Amino acid sequence: MSIYRGKMNWYEYAQNEEFTVTFLYGASPNDPINLYWQWTKDAAGEIKGNVLYQTTITSVTQTGIPGEVKFNCTDNNYYKFDIT
């Protein structure tokens, strides 16, 4: 298992929030991953609501920088994530 941690900003809903991705088996297309974050304030007005999304990687691109890759995934075709 590998873990990536970074920050997420998404409109007024997520402002400099911790974002964690766990790669259960690797970072290849169709591999399962878990995404964890906390909304600053969600659409219903809940403050600091925790989120767990379990999904799969849809594509992986080598960036040319050693040790860095870009991958994307979707969850229920609603949220799309592009992560470097």
User: Residues 29-76: pLDDT tens digits?
Assistant: 999 999 999 999 999 999 999 999 898 998 988 888 987 888 888 766
- Can you tell me the distance from the alpha carbon of 49 to that of 64, in angstroms, rounded to the nearest whole number? 36
DSSP letters spanning 7-63: EEEETTTEEEEEEEEEESS-SSTT-EEEEEEE-SB-TT--BT-EEEEEEEEEEEEE-
pLDDT tier for residue 77 given thresholds of 50, 70 and 90: low
